[in-house]
Structure 1
Amino acid sequence: MPETDQQPNAEAIAHRRRIRKELIQALAAASVLQDADGWSLFLQELSLTLGSGVPAVGHSSFHVRVIKVVNHCSRRADGMRSIAESVNLLDPESTDTAAILRCVDEWHVVDLFADVDVLWLREELQVLRATTGDLHRWAIEIRMTEQPGYCTTAWQLFASLAGENASEGVLPCLRFLERIPPLLSAAAGARLRELLATLSNRWELADYRAEHPAESAVPAAPADMAYLIIQFDKYGGDGDSYLVSHWRQWATVWQPVRGEDRRVLESDLEATVVEIVAEAERRWAEHMGPVTIEFILPDPLLDLPVEEFRRELQSVEATPLAIKYPVYVRSLNRLRSTEWHRVWRNRWQRRATARVADHVVHCAADGSGAVQVEASLGGGAVVMMLSEPPQLGSAGERQLLAGLRAGLPAVLWHRRTYPRPQRCETVTSMIRDALLGSGLAELPIHVAELRKRAWGEDPAQRHYHVGNGIVILWDDPDRLPDRAAAGPITGEARG
């Protein structure tokens, strides 16, 4: 951990004065603090956050009272952070609050780096946009959550990380800076590397990195994973209402960010999904790349045609999700049945090594039940085609249960009845195409393309296209949304 008792240099002192002045101005301008109730609530929250009362600020002018609060908090190690947290609680996501948060972040930079000159970086990093691309991805990977919405430049990202504690032995802000040099000019990149070497020696990070090379290495950046995960779960004993949860994922490692839960009636599931998709698209407006939507469903809803849920319901040209996104379903039952996870992981590993010559597909016989399916499943099978949809009380439901218990990561079915050779040939052909490409990971994409071709048909012919009504359950055991990070539930079931 870095020392915090360094004496600031003259430039840092001047910078701190500027930040203090800007913070006072931002607080004085914040509309939420203008009325008596807002100011009183702010002082209450600030006292709770600090763990001690704020000294009486008297009945002087509002501007003077703000100065007294800032002066008091500036003498506390956690004072400025407490100001930011208190205002953010009262008025989140406002431009007034964003200005205050940025000031507090910069205060942390000066506090942390004391007599080390890092302020020259401000001019270099302020011109680098951080709402998309590598900078955005790095910040998510380091922070393990989405970046704050008020951070739009690399400098603002760096400053926001400066207030966070060390993880994996190294401060998050330094881990961020270590990735920056290639984005700068040659001279600025060299100067930043010198700065990092100085900090590494001063904070004795070189010894730590020598002992933990894997933690300190900067991995090559793979392609982003972009997912919108939407989960339906029965709400209590009410048979007609559901808790709809969702997670957003746009990063190179699996660390989804949970959104607000919603309690809705079954009849409102489609409208709720439309709201969630629109919200995610607004958050991802500056990103580029494909997005996959996956639905985690209780087994009775696995045949719900979620890929046909329409976007922009109020439009006269509302279109199904399947036209724009690859859509697949996952079993909520299996995610929660940890006694099935070992065999699930075994089959998933088999999926990664499958070859064209391998027997990876099991096509369930018409009318076969769970025992028959499990007895006939080969050890190398990773995909199963059901003989019929898994509706309540059907053979398809029993076959699906067998496939989930046996750990099959991929299960397909069709909502229309097809002769066994035809449905098996369709799946086997897609599997062959996937294995000739990048492997079975491509299977959901092949299903998505088949659906799009069906929707591209003349409406009179669409019903007969094999892509109309095909469903894929695609389950990765390494991607389990974190139930512990629950967000607040908004709304009651809507009638």
Structure 2
Amino acid sequence: MWQSSAHSRRARRRRDGGMTAYGGGGLGLVRELAEALARCGSLQERGSRALCLRLMAKELGAPPPVREHDVAHYFLLELAWACLENPRTMRALHEALTALNEDVAELRRLTDDLLADPALPVGEMMTLRPLLDGFALPNLPDLCRRAAGGLRQVPPYDDAWSAFEGLSRLNARPDGLPTTMAFVEYVAAEAPYERGIALRAWNDAQAHGLSLLTELRSLRQQVAYAHSPEPGNAYLVVRLLRREEPGRYRLTSWRHYDPDEPTSWRPAQEASVEVTLAEAEREVERLVFEADEDWARDADRIHVEFALGQEDLNLPVHRFRIEIDSPEPASLGVGYCVVVRSLTRCRTPRWHRAWKQRWTSLSRTPELARPLVMGGPGHDDPRCDDLPSLDARLRGDRSIGCLLLSGPPEPATDSAREALIALRCGLPALLWDSRDVTTPRGVVQADDRIYGMLHDLPGLREAVTQLRTEAHGGSLNGRDNHPGHHLVLLFDDPTRPIESHQPLAGPDQGVGGR
């Protein structure tokens, strides 16, 4: 809860020149906590003090940075200082005193009050300000609640920096992380690629200084692979199914948005229509406009996903236009997060076990996820002419989450065979340049950031969207050479199916058909 009762103590500490709770602790805080600890009988005798330190070491996994003193008061001052330096030490002390049959209720109330001050040094907070100041997120209240670990109501904030300042006056979370660090982690997951990298780097530095790397790593895993936790994510899935007549497709769409149960997946199927590719562009425009109108008040972002057969994976759907009849049409891939999905894998049940197992493994340890680049410069990157080696590598290593293909997966090409191997081995993400380039280096010759994007699997969709936006924001002459203009991302989550096993062509299943 908000610590409004602590205002007078905080004001006194500021007058005394006290520093923030986990950032060094002022003498006023140390004296106040030491006086409270003096009321614990087991901390008065040298023998029981030594036992308390051993119990704390058991909880921490290492001896606490506290020396024994002949004078109890000196010992208590050093113990108080250590606890104010690190929330894990404070938590270990509570556990040790409880084991010694001390009543720690009053001590807990006091330390809750003491630790209601900002958890990080002012200088460190100021280095963060440029990354948060003016950064407004539609789901900011929800991020604050999740960062605070059970906080139900928060005051309105204009941007992420004002929210950070407000949360800095809250207690540390049960896992020991300052609420502000948890908030930065949640914001990093929502931020564009470069900003997200900078926010995580800032958090890493604070966690290292506070001995909270394990706690931060655990939270980062939860944040990275929380399945659609934010109520602002809406999905429009478009299936393009080839018909017998050349150049014609059966277009079917699904929509999903459930703000009341954001972790659920219940896509509603719409009616199907027969289209050419040119007509498909206009039909997608209509579907996007309807989704925008229906979700205008609630949805933060709309993901547009195209379910395509193996022979159509390279269709330039991310370059479909919207506002087609206006003087200045816009690109679908700039305003929306556009990816493709594999109909072939969706309809090949024997591949699903590897797909789900790899997704589960990557979800548990996202920090270990790594990419491969076909023909890339790394010593681990597979050669383009050695597909059996690629197959063996992918089957034996579930930490590989993304593959950069050597070229577009057009039928009867080596790149198509690379994609087929990756799909049947369960990789959730494939990336390629839709142009006919001879080496994967051609994909990144204008922008090496793509290599960095490959290592951030949870943020890959947003990073590709940002790169596409940059491509359209550049000069007309350089736009066609910008990698973002040609980049295609296949991103396939096995927990979000749209259909069960059906033939790749055949009669329409009807609205609601599975």
- Could you tell me the TM-score, scaled by structure 1's length? 0.50
